[in-house]
Amino acid sequence: MAQQTSLAGPDRYAKASYNRKGVWRSAIIAIVALLVFVAIVVAIDAVVKPQLSGLGLLIVGIILAIVPAGLWLTFFYQQDRVEPEPVGQVARMAVIGLALAGALGIPATSSLFRTQEWLYRDTGSMILGSLLIGTVETFIIYAVVRYFIFDSAEFDERTDGVVYGTAAGLGYATALNLNFILGNGGGALGGTEIYVAEVALAYAAFGGLIGYFLGHAKMQRDPIWWLPLGFVLTVVLNGLFLILRGQLETGSISAASAATPLPSLTGLILAGVLAVIVTAVVAFLINRDVAASTSSTATAAADASVGDRQANLAVIGVFVVLLVIGMLGWNGAVNGTTAFDKNGIRGAYPAYFGNVNTDKDVLRVADKIGSGAEFAVTIKDLKGSKDAKAVSSLLAAERGSGNLIYKLIDSQPATVNGKEAQMQQFAYVDSGGFTGAVPRVIQGTDYIFVQGERAVVVTMLATPDTVGEIEPLFVNFVNSLSF
C-alpha cells in the first residue's frame, strides 16, 4: 500500500489551483487512437481473413485484450514527459485493478451471483442485476485508488484522481477482456477487438468519473456525502451502460475464425460516446473547481484525514446497502416464482419463465431467454381406462408422430405431496418442423397423476446440457402443485 502521507492545511491546497490540461489531450488522443486501432484490425480481418486456431488464436486474443490499456498508458507516458507524473504509479494502479478484478470482482459477478444467466430475463432483473454488477465493479475501482494511492504524496493534484481512476478502470477492463479471451479459447480477430475496445472505453469512463470525486475530496474539504455521491453516480452510469448495451448490442462473439459475423458496432459507439462525454464533463468540472479555488480564501480543516476517513466509511456503507439491494434482486431473479390457478390446478413456476400456452395445455411456460426449458401441465381423458400405463402409451404415440425418434428411458411409481403418481423419463429428437431448425435431442420427465376419468400430466422438457440445471426447478414446480 502507498505511504500514508496525507496533505493538510496549506499544503493540501498547494496544487489545488493547478490544472494539467495535458491529461485531457492525452485522454482524447487515446480514445481516437483506440478507435483507429480497432478500424485497422477490423480491416485486416476483412481483407486478409487470417485462419487462426488453437494456441495462435489464443495468443492473438490475449495481445488484443491488453492493447487498449497499453495504448492509454502510452499516451499518458508521453504526456508525462511535459508535465511530470510518476508513470510507474499509473501502471501500478492498472495492475492492481486487474488483479483485484480477477481475484474478487469477476468471481463475484460471474461465479457467485452468476449474473450472466439472469441479467436480461426481464426488466426488473436487468435493473437490479446492472445495479449489482455496477456496485461491485465501481467499489473495486474506487478501492484501488482510495487504498493504494490516495494517501500518497504522489497524489497531489486534482487531475491525479482522474489519471489513477482511469488506470484502475482500464485494469478492470483488461481483466474482463482476458477472462473473455481465455474463457473462449481465443476470439475472431475483428470481433474480439471491437469487444475489448468497447469494454476499455466504458471502464476508463467509469474510472475517470469516480477518480474526479476522489481528486476533489483530496484537494479540499468536502461534506461527508461527497464521495458517496460520486460512488452512486458511477454505479448508475455503469448500470445504465449495461442496460443500453444489452438493448443495442445485437451481434455475437465466438472463438470461430474470420467467418464469424462481427458484433454490432453500436456497443462500441455507445462506449466511445460515453468516454468522450465523461472526459469532457470531468474536464469542465475540474476547470471550474480550479477557478473557484484560486479565488477562495478557504483553509483546510485542522485534521484533514478525519474527514477522509469519515467519507470513506460512508462510501463503504453505501456500497453495502447497494450490494444488499442487488443481492435481493439476484435472489428474486433466481428463486422468485409466479403463482397460477387454472382449471382447478394451482402452483408456482419460476418467475423468469414466460407463458407459451397452446390450446392443449392447462399451463405451458418456458425459459425463452436462457435454457429454453419448458414446464407443462396437461389433462388427458382416460375414456374409461384408469391406468397410468394407458396415459404413457398415449403420450408416446403423440410424441412419436411429431418427432423423429421417441424413447421411454425409465418408468417407476412416485409419491408427490401424498398423491400417487407414475414418473417416467424419456427422450426424443425434435425434427425442427417447418422452421428449418437443426434437429436436436430433448430430454423430458413426466409425472402422471390419475384422478378418476382424467389424468393430470406434469412435464419437463430440456436439452441434455441443461437438464442438471433445470431438474431442481422442476422438482420445486411439481411439489408446488395442488389439485
pLDDT in tens, 393-447: 888 888 888 778 899 999 999 999 889 999 999 999 987 654 456 788 999 999 9
* 253 and 365 part of one domain: no
Q: Which of 161, 250, 147, 241 is nearest to 207 (CA)?
A: 161
Q: Which of 206, 270, 204, 246 is nearest to 115 (CA)?
A: 246
* 393 and 464 part of one domain: yes
Please indicate, yes or no, if residue 4 is contained in any of the structural domains: no
What order do you get walking across the sheet with 419-430 strand by strand?
354-355, 363-366, 374-381, 454-462, 440-451, 419-430, 405-416
Q: Please give the tally of structural domains in the chain.
A: 2
Q: Which of 445, 451, 447 is nearest to 382 (CA)?
A: 451
Q: Are 201 and 33 in contact (CB under 8 A)?
A: no
Distances (CA, A) of 208 to 28, 205, 263, 326: 13, 5, 26, 24
Q: Which of 94, 103, 97, 58 is nearest to 76 (CA)?
A: 94
Provide the residue count of the chain.
483
Q: Indicate whether 154 pLDDT > 70.
A: yes
- In one-letter notation, the amino acid at residue 17 is S
Q: What's CA 44's distance to the chain center, in Å?
A: 30
pLDDT in the model for residue 59: 79
**How confident is residue 49, by pLDDT bands cut at 50, 70 and 90?**
low
Please indicate, yes or no, if residue 2 is contained in any of the structural domains: no
Structural domain boundaries, residue 376: 337-480
Last residue of a domain, one of 293, 313, 335: 335
**How confident is residue 283, by pLDDT bands cut at 50, 70 and 90?**
confident
Best mean pLDDT range from 14-23, 73-82, 184-193, 362-371:
362-371
pLDDT in the model for residue 299: 46
Distance CA 228, CA 297 (A): 26
Cross-strand partners of 378: 457
Distances (CA, A) of 230 to 47, 133, 204, 209: 45, 17, 15, 8
Q: Are 138 and 231 in contact (CB under 8 A)?
A: yes
Radius of gyration, alpha carbons of the chain: 28
Distance CA 294, CA 291 (A): 5
What is the Cβ-side half-sphere exposure of residue 195, based on CA atoms within 13 angstroms?
A: 27
**How confident is residue 58, by pLDDT bands cut at 50, 70 and 90?**
confident
Q: Are 162 and 290 in contact (CB under 8 A)?
A: no
DSSP reduced 3-state for 373: coil
**Helices and strands of the chain, counted as H and E runs:** 13, 9
Distances (CA, A) of 28 to 215, 216, 267: 20, 21, 19
Please indicate, yes or no, if residue 1 is contained in any of the structural domains: no
* 331 and 341 part of one domain: no
* 327 and 404 part of one domain: no
In eight-state DSSP terms, residue 340 is E
* 274 and 369 part of one domain: no
List the CATH number of the domain containing 390.
3.40.1000.10
Q: Indicate whether 383 pLDDT > 80.
A: no
Q: Is residue 256 packed enough to be buried (19+ CB in 10 Å), middle (13-18) or exposed (0-12)? A: middle
pLDDT in the model for residue 307: 67
Please indicate, yes or no, if residue 13 is contained in any of the structural domains: yes
pLDDT in the model for residue 242: 92
Cα angle 216, 220, 223; round to 5: 85
As a whole number, mean pLDDT of residues 334-351 equals 90
* 391 and 261 part of one domain: no
Q: What is the pLDDT of residues 83-117, one digit of tens each?
A: 555 677 888 999 999 999 999 999 999 989 989 88
Q: Is residue 93 packed enough to be buried (19+ CB in 10 Å), middle (13-18) or exposed (0-12)? A: buried
Best mean pLDDT range from 170-184, 223-237, 245-259, 263-277:
223-237
* 424 and 305 part of one domain: no
Please indicate, yes or no, if residue 3 is contained in any of the structural domains: no
* 439 and 328 part of one domain: no
* 178 and 234 part of one domain: yes
* 325 and 431 part of one domain: no
Last residue of a domain, one of 285, 320, 335: 335
* 49 and 24 part of one domain: yes
Q: Are 174 and 69 in contact (CB under 8 A)?
A: yes
pLDDT in the model for residue 84: 55
End-to-end CA distance of the chain: 64
pTM (two decimals): 0.78
Neighbours of 62 (CB within 10 A): 16
Q: H-helix or E-strand containing 429?
A: strand 419-430
The answer to whether the Cα torsion of 326, 328, 334, 340 is positive or negative is: negative
Neighbours of 69 (CB within 10 A): 30
Q: Which of 472, 482, 480 is nearest to 349 (CA)?
A: 480
Last residue of a domain, one of 319, 335, 351: 335
* 382 and 442 part of one domain: yes
Instruction: For the chain, give the mean pLDDT.
Output: 82
Percent of the chain with pLDDT over 70: 80
Best mean pLDDT range from 48-52, 278-282, 433-437, 441-445:
441-445
